[in-house]
């Protein structure tokens, strides 16, 4: 792990800011959380740059574990393509260089080109060789927690039916991802998980253009959701349970690993996850302090 932690404010890139980046420090290592807008060029660039800078031991993705093999395939196909890397000019800021040297062609450094499929998730995988973990539902932890909560709260039959229908759809989608990964491995075809979302900006647009478009998109979506009144308790149960399971899984990953953890999650989950992990870290630290203080000296 780097002695000096990665800080978003130290990066001269408008796509990498505190709005989309969080760091939760701890004795075993830092956990970086990156909020993304799915398939957005700014988010794809963000995850690749931060993954390269942080060099995490574990890459945690907001994907069900069953979907990971497919995104590994997408990342592998991107790495093996002829255009897997490109070069961009590197700025020369050394004032002591001679004028002859300054007139020579500028140096270049490699920049990742994202895989053709899989958006920011496969892009993150392609930018690091970290251990991969899927932290999203459906999984057994999510199912156990959801059933326990439904029984304890005695939810209505209608809410339970909507939840089961939603869970069934998510499970089928995860299984389709696993089957697609198997077929892609076994054949020359690349089976995609739906069409990517298209935006009014491209991967090669200037960082400022991408960042401005992404911020405007997030603001408009949040304003729209804030103006819609909904009492869909099934949706609330599902989302709250998903987030709690992701929080618990990230806490487990941090406890099991001494290195840096990088988590890629939807921007709507970022604040909740960062707040909960920070609170858990503070509680753990306080408990450890009181335990150490109460231990009598030999």
Mean pLDDT per segment of 10 residues, for the chain of length 298 residues? Answer: 70 94 89 96 96 95 92 79 41 42 39 84 95 89 80 78 71 66 57 78 94 96 75 74 93 92 96 93 59 53
Q: In the chain, how long is the greatest CA-to-CA distance? A: 78
In this prediction, residue 273 carries a pLDDT of 96
State the residue for tokens 């089957």: 179
Query: Residue 296 falls within a domain, yes or no?
Result: no
In this prediction, residue 193 carries a pLDDT of 65
Alpha-carbon distance 52 to 252, whole Å? 24
Strand partners, 112: 85
* Residue numbers of the domain that contains 40: 11-83+111-284
Query: Residue 240 falls within a domain, yes or no?
Result: yes
In contact, 211 and 42? CB cutoff 8 Å: yes
Q: Where are the beta strands (DSSP E) in 108-187?
A: 108-112, 131-134
In contact, 68 and 81? CB cutoff 8 Å: no
Query: Residue 97 falls within a domain, yes or no?
Result: no
Query: Residue 93 falls within a domain, yes or no?
Result: no
In contact, 267 and 218? CB cutoff 8 Å: yes
In this prediction, residue 3 carries a pLDDT of 57
Alpha-carbon distance 199 to 253, whole Å? 34
Question: What contacts 131, CB < 8 A, 6 or more positions away?
Answer: 57, 58, 59, 257
Query: Residue 183 falls within a domain, yes or no?
Result: yes
The total number of structural domains that make up the chain: 1
Query: Residue 19 falls within a domain, yes or no?
Result: yes
54 membership: H or E segment, kind and range: helix 41-54
For residues 73, 59, 66, 244, the Cα torsion angle rounded to the nearest 10 degrees is -160
In contact, 58 and 250? CB cutoff 8 Å: no
Q: What is the reported pTM? A: 0.78
Alpha-carbon distance 4 to 216, whole Å? 32
Alpha-carbon distance 278 to 197, whole Å? 32
Query: Residue 115 falls within a domain, yes or no?
Result: yes
Alpha-carbon distance 134 to 59, whole Å? 9
CA 295 to chain CA mean position, Å: 40
Query: Residue 75 falls within a domain, yes or no?
Result: yes
């Amino acid at each position: 792990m780097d002695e000096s932690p990665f800080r978003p404010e130290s990066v001269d890139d408008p796509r990498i800011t505190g709005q989309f980046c969080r760091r939760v420090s701890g004795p075993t290592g830092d956990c970086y959380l990156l909020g993304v807008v799915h398939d957005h060029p700014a988010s794809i660039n963000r995850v690749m740059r931060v993954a390269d800078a942080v060099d995490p031991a574990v890459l945690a993705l907001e994907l069900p574990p069953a979907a990971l093999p497919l995104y590994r395939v997408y990342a592998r196909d991107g790495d093996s393509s002829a255009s897997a890397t490109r070069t961009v000019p590197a700025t020369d800021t050394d004032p002591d260089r001679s004028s002859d040297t300054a007139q020579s062609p500028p140096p270049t450094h490699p920049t990742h080109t994202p895989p053709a499929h899989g958006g920011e998730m496969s892009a993150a995988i392609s930018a690091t060789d970290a251990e991969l973990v899927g932290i999203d539902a459906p999984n057994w932890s999510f199912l156990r927690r959801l059933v326990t909560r439904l029984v304890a709260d005695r939810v209505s039959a209608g809410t339970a039916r909507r939840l089961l229908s939603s869970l069934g759809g998510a499970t089928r989608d995860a299984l389709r991802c696993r089957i697609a990964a198997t077929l892609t491995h076994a054949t020359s075809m690349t089976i995609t998980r739906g069409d990517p979302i298209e935006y009014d900006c491209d991967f090669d647009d200037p960082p400022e253009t991408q960042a401005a478009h992404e911020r405007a998109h997030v603001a408009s979506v949040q304003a729209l959701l804030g103006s819609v009144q909904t009492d869909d308790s099934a949706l609330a149960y599902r989302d709250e349970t998903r987030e709690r399971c992701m929080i618990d899984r990230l806490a487990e990953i941090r406890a099991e690993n001494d290195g840096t953890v990088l988590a890629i999650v939807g921007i709507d989950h970022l604040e909740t996850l960062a707040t909960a992990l920070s609170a858990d870290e503070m509680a753990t630290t306080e408990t450890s302090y009181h335990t150490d203080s109460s231990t009598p000296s030999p």
